[in-house]
Amino acid sequence: MGLDRATRVDFAMWFVLLTALLLYAMTLDTGLQPEELRGGDLITHQYAQVQARPSNAPGYPLYTMGGWLWFRIVHLLAVGLGSPNPNPMPLLSSYSTLWALLALWLLYRILVVLFARVRALPPSLVNTLSLARLALGVAGEQRLAALLTLFYAVTYFFWYYATTTEQYSSAIAQTLAIVYLYLRWQDAGTPASTEPRDGIGANSMGRGNRLSDSHARHLLWLLAFLCGLSLAHMLTVAFIVPPLVLVILWQAPGLLRQWRVLLLAVIFALLPLVSYLYVYLRGAAHPEWWGNGQWQSAGAWFWSFVSTSQGREELGWGFEPWCSVFANGFPALVFSELTWPVVGLGLLGFSLMGKRLAVLFGGTALIYLAFSWAYRCGNWFQVILPLYPLLLIGVGVFVQRSFRLAAQSTGRRKAGSWLALSHLSIELFLFAA
């Protein structure tokens, strides 16, 4: 007997995660370059996680507190394993690896969930020993999801930030967690169906009925909290929030009449702001951490710090005469990171996800691209990073939908074999890439 779906999913998932873990463990950052000792993001995050001090403005309070706890735990483990004075650099960098592995798990799970939404193969192709079933069936879906995830795992920027002490792998994980949780919410209470769908059934929340279910409400509140984390983390992660709110209200217009549910959602979204007390209290206790500037009180320093004046100044550079229309690698770096086919097929894949998911993914991409253009003379190539896995999801949807559609159109085993060979060729290409 073959492995059931759940077993296959788990096997492929663990293969991806263990492969990435070994790769990242062998390439963890172990030191600083001489120029990095003069300052910059890396050393600022490292001091923050060692000393429990605010990091770069606006402080990244939740991320930094988590990093401080992580460093304490892995340092104790290293000492317990016989290393009395372990090199702190890989210990600090491994915090980013933790978030990177979570991001890869979420990317894989999103692909699997979206693949499962497509109707079954035609009966003429469903033969246990057929090549078409091997390539286009559940096993093929798992391989495609695993290969796309591994492809993303070794892209330059993701690999770099998975092994160094900065917050970008956590921002990517947060974005993917929002997408994954939305898919869970979208499917909550939806009748099982083999029809292609956008997660919406005739009797589902599309008519405003499903919010009476406590599970759907809890998922919605958790989703609101997850979106609100961007207020206490990397603010640009919130770019996904406007299209997300739009598709939620599109699916559940009755939500606007349920003020208690809405009020709690707003409260959960704002709850992460409480973590800024950490920034204020730690800063007030250590004025030597304030940096350059003159402030009359801890409160004055705090409001100046969280207002991120440097980021606002850099955003204005894109409108200066010296900043050309396409400058600082925009948008060429996107294509060098993912390749032209991946970007193009990813955007096409958005249109095959169903109306609501197309709005969610396409709207998020549009906001990221517009902001990155305005920020092109700043660090736009870091801001845009959460968009890259969304494009990989689009590629997966495009490939799977295209081959399923072709298989359903032919329904003949000979044609199915040709489709299977084509599918396997794409898998080999991803493996080689």
- More reliable by pLDDT, 313 or 181: 181
Cα torsion 3, 7, 9, 10 to 10°: value is -140
Contacting residues for 57 by C-beta, under 8 A, at least 6 apart: 305, 306, 307, 308, 309, 310, 311
Largest CA distance in the chain: 79
CA distances from 241 to 5, 15, 148, 174, 350 (A): 32, 32, 25, 12, 17
Distance of CA 148 to the CA centre of its chain: 14
| Coil/strand/helix, residue 176 | helix
Task: Specify the pLDDT at position 130.
Answer: 52
Contact between 32 and 42 under an 8 Å Cβ cutoff? The reply is: yes
Average pLDDT over residues 40-53: 86
Confidence bin at 401 (pLDDT 50/70/90): confident
Residue 346's contacts (CB-CB under 8 Å, 6 or more residues apart) are 338, 390, 391, 392, 393, 394, 395, 398
Q: What is the pTM (predicted TM-score) of this model?
A: 0.88
> For the chain, percent helix, then strand, then coil, each to nearest 5?
75, 0, 25
Give every CB contact of residue 431 below 8 A, 6+ residues apart in sequence. 147
pLDDT for 433 beyond 70? no
Q: Is the pLDDT of residue 413 over 90?
A: no
**Residue-range domain boundaries for the chain:** 13-287+303-432
Rounded distance between C-alpha atoms, residue 307 and residue 295, angstroms: 14
List, as one string, the DSSP characters of 371-403.
Answer: HHHHTTTTTHHHHTTTHHHHHHHHHHHHHHHHH
Across the chain, what does the average pLDDT equal?
A: 83
Confidence of residue 121 (pLDDT cuts 50, 70, 90): low
pLDDT tens for 60-112 read: 999 999 999 999 999 999 999 888 889 999 999 999 999 999 999 999 999 99
pLDDT digits (tens, 9 = 90+) for 159-171: 999 999 999 999 9
Give residue 422's pLDDT.
56
What is the mean predicted confidence (pLDDT) over 9-28? 91
Using alpha carbons, list the distances in angstroms from residue 75 to 53, 67, 88, 163, 343: 18, 12, 8, 17, 41
Q: What is the pLDDT of residue 420?
A: 53
Q: Looking at the predicted structure, is the pLDDT value of residue 299 above 60?
A: yes
Rounded Cα gap, residues 50 and 29, in angstroms: 16
